[in-house]
Amino acid sequence: MEVNAVVWFRKGLRIHDNPALDRARRGATKVLYPIFVLDPRYLERDRDAFSPGSARAGLGRIQFLLESLTDLDKSLRRLGSRLVVLRGGDPAEVLVRVLKEWNVGKLCYESDTEPYGQARDARVEVFASAAGIEVFSPVSHTLFDPADIIRKNGGKPPLTYQSFVKLAGRPLPPIGQQFSALPPVGDLGEWEDVGVPTIQELGYGDVEFSPFRGGESEALKRMDEYLSDKEKVATFEKPKGDPSAFLKPATTVLSPYLKFGCLSSRLFYHRIQEIYVKAKKLTSPPVSLLGQLLWREFFYTVAFGTPNFDRMRGNEICKQIPWKDDDQLLASWRDGRTGFPWIDAIMVQLRQWGWMHHLARHSVACFLTRGDLFVHWEKGRDVFERLLIDSDWAINNGNWLWLSCSSFFYQYHRIYSPITFGKKYDPTGKFIRHFLPVLKDMPKEYIYEPWTAPLSVQKKAKCIIGTDYPKPVVSHEVANKQCRQKMGEAYALNSGGPSQVNDEKLVELRRKFDQEESTAADQGPKLKQKRLTT
DNA sequence: GTCAGCGTTGAATAG
DNA sequence: TCTATTCAACGCTGA
């Protein structure tokens, strides 16, 4: 018996290595509806947000998504099909309605391990199985099935990278089937194919600048280009990359394509592997290029197996720390006006590009949390989640847990200096001058600490500190010492495990910190002033 | 229970 | 300019 099939795209915006699409087209498929449902949660304009975009996503990532959808539609058209774009509210509800109205017998979609996706898909699956619809929901966003790894580890996710790598083994190869045509798209009935909207149709203004174009075609091109230098691929060492390189980034910048599934992680893995077998010299995980893909898997696995992974409270693997609730400090960080050019330039790059080098992310995340400002990692996470075009729930939360020394990494005495860390890669401050043009004429001697420049120098550079560019919001020298002290006390509070730390204890320690801060502020101005004028 | 060894990516200093 | 060593030091793992 021939059936009507639906392939539901969410992530996995690609034709290659797409098991859901492959299953949907095969067998007795009469008509095939490739659909994408515009999710109002993701796309509807939010005027109150701190940057243009929706409640969840900044404009850059929305634009990247639309470009990816347009590219997918083009590819489907080459195969005699097209992408049917639907709107009509909640995606799970839309799905249930079209399954009924189109008399669908087979539903295929890529498995999604994020909590939002799990809840959404569960609702669709409940309906589908009650209605006798065949559901195929393969794991193809990641190399491994997180549930599988957790089973192998005795029901708990591995909490160290090394133990994860031991459990993981080798991933399956990408599916190799080629096809030149897809079954026709069926009658839509009452539904309208609204097509891939433009950014203006969604109610937004133009995107001023986007250095990375979305879509599978662009992803494959970018991957091929990067992989053409085989020696560079084989000897890739992540910690040696230059976070200040922006004309030609030090890494692949394939993360946004992996995030949306424009690029299959399995294809990328196996293309790297092909280079490895012929290479003379080779780096290994965790620092190798393949090792980077395994980091992605590691965070997907822990995120899937940890309740409340994206929160401090109720998160079993997260140190309970009384972070400071200071919206002004947060805003200065978010808007790139902390007065530390290295930090601010990175935050401007985030705003403009939606992407920064991994170590640049480390620098600003450390600065916001345990390094200098002691602001809650969840606040920084929210800013990254919104502005990054590669923003990925598991990886973003995992890295904020890591950088804030809340989980995975605990050496809180190792703090990135907002002054010397960038300087060691970019002593003349090219990166700062590019993203903070107000400082473009500041002599290199002062570019990382412009508040130390004599007034005559500031005048000559046409940049008066405190007027044209802010004074530093804290003294790093003082702040990083205070942060270490606080982290020590917070860790002591956690000695019995995070679950033993109740609200009361947390509030009590926060009060103590507040008191110490106000005492320091009374004595502080002298110290601060001295520093600001030396 | 104890303790050495270890952990993708620190800073400052010495050579 | 680049590399190696020192400093101070965390929690987790496994013998």
Q: What is the pLDDT of residues A268-311, one digit of tens each?
A: 999 999 999 999 989 999 999 999 999 999 999 999 999 999 99
Report if CB A157 to strand B is under 7 Å. Answer: no
Q: CA–CA separation, A446 vs A439, rounded Å?
A: 10
Alpha-carbon A166 to chain mean position: 25
What is the CA A54 to C1' C2 distance in angstroms? 47
- Model pLDDT for residues A199-218, shown as the tens digit of each residue: 999 999 888 788 999 999 99
Q: Which residue has the tokens 């304009």?
A: A45
Closest CA to A72 of A252, A281, A257, A327: A257
Q: Which residue has the tokens 């010299």?
A: A281
Per DSSP, what are the bridge partners of residue A9? A36
User: What percent of chain A stands above pLDDT 70?
Assistant: 98
What is the CA A250 to C1' C2 distance in angstroms? 19
Instruction: Give residue A526's pLDDT.
Output: 45
What is the CA A50 to C1' B9 distance in angstroms? 31
Alpha-carbon A431 to chain mean position: 22
Q: What is the average per-residue pLDDT within A177-206?
A: 93
Q: Which residue has the tokens 């018996």?
A: A1
Q: CA–CA separation, A534 vs A518, rounded Å?
A: 24
Q: Which residues of A248-287 are buried (b: 16+ CB within 10 A; e: fewer)?
A: ebbbbbbbbbbbbbbbbbbbbbbbbeebbeeeeeebebbe
Instruction: Give residue A530's pLDDT.
Output: 38
What is the CA A533 to C1' C12 distance in angstroms? 44
- Model pLDDT for residues A458-493, shown as the tens digit of each residue: 999 999 999 999 999 999 999 999 999 999 999 999
Computed over every residue of chain A, the mean pLDDT equals 95
A413, closest nucleotide (Cα–C1')? C9
Bases of chain C with protein Cβ within 7 A: 1, 8-14
A419, closest nucleotide (Cα–C1')? B11
Report if CB A163 to strand B is under 7 Å. Answer: no
Query: Over 70: is that where the pLDDT of A532 sits?
Result: no
Q: How confident is the model at residue A524 (pLDDT cuts 50, 70, 90)?
A: low
- Model pLDDT for residues A42-80, shown as the tens digit of each residue: 998 999 999 999 989 999 999 999 999 999 999 999 999
What is the CA A527 to C1' B7 distance in angstroms? 36
Virtual CA dihedral for A284, A266, A57, A408, nearest 10 degrees? -40
Strands of the A84-86 sheet, one edge to the other? A84-86, A29-37, A3-9, A104-108, A134-136
CB-CB contact of A14 with A261 (8 Å): yes
A488, closest nucleotide (Cα–C1')? C10
Report if CB A420 to strand B is under 7 Å. Answer: yes
A288, closest nucleotide (Cα–C1')? B8
What is the CA A9 to C1' B7 distance in angstroms? 39
- Model pLDDT for residues A382-394, shown as the tens digit of each residue: 999 999 999 999 9
Q: What is the average per-residue pLDDT within A508-533?
A: 71
A241, closest nucleotide (Cα–C1')? B9
Alpha-carbon A479 to chain mean position: 28
Residues touching nucleic chain C (CB < 7 Å) = A 159-160, 163, 410-414, 427, 488, 491, 495
Q: What is the average per-residue pLDDT within A515-528?
A: 70
When comparing pLDDT for A29 and A35, which is higher? A35
Report if CB A166 to strand B is under 7 Å. Answer: no
Q: In this structure, what DSSP letter does residue A7 have? A: E
Largest CA distance in chain A: 85
Q: How confident is the model at residue A531 (pLDDT cuts 50, 70, 90)?
A: very low
DSSP for A424-442, please give it. Answer: HH-TT-HHHHHH-GGGTTS
Bases of chain B with protein Cβ within 7 A: 7-12
What is the CA A242 to C1' C5 distance in angstroms? 23
A371, closest nucleotide (Cα–C1')? B10
A414, closest nucleotide (Cα–C1')? B10
What is the CA A412 to C1' B14 distance in angstroms? 26
What is the CA A456 to C1' B3 distance in angstroms? 59
Q: CA–CA separation, A415 vs A363, rounded Å?
A: 9
Within 10 A of A26 (CB to CB), how many other CB atoms are there? Answer: 15
Q: CA–CA separation, A159 vs A287, rounded Å?
A: 18
Query: Over 50: is that where the pLDDT of A528 sits?
Result: no
The answer to whether the Cα torsion of A287, A293, A296, A298 is positive or negative is negative
Closest CA to A332 of A529, A476, A470, A521: A470
Alpha-carbon A189 to chain mean position: 38
Q: CA–CA separation, A242 vs A72, rounded Å?
A: 33
CA atoms within 13 A on the CB side of A314: 5
**Sequence-ordered strand ranges (E) for A262-323:** none
Alpha carbon distances (Å) from A82 to A32, A34, A69, A330, A395: 10, 7, 11, 44, 32
Q: Kindly state the tokens that stand for A87.
A: 């709107």
Q: How confident is the model at residue A409 (pLDDT cuts 50, 70, 90)?
A: very high
A411, closest nucleotide (Cα–C1')? C10
- Model pLDDT for residues A212-252, shown as the tens digit of each residue: 999 999 999 999 999 999 999 999 998 889 999 999 999 99
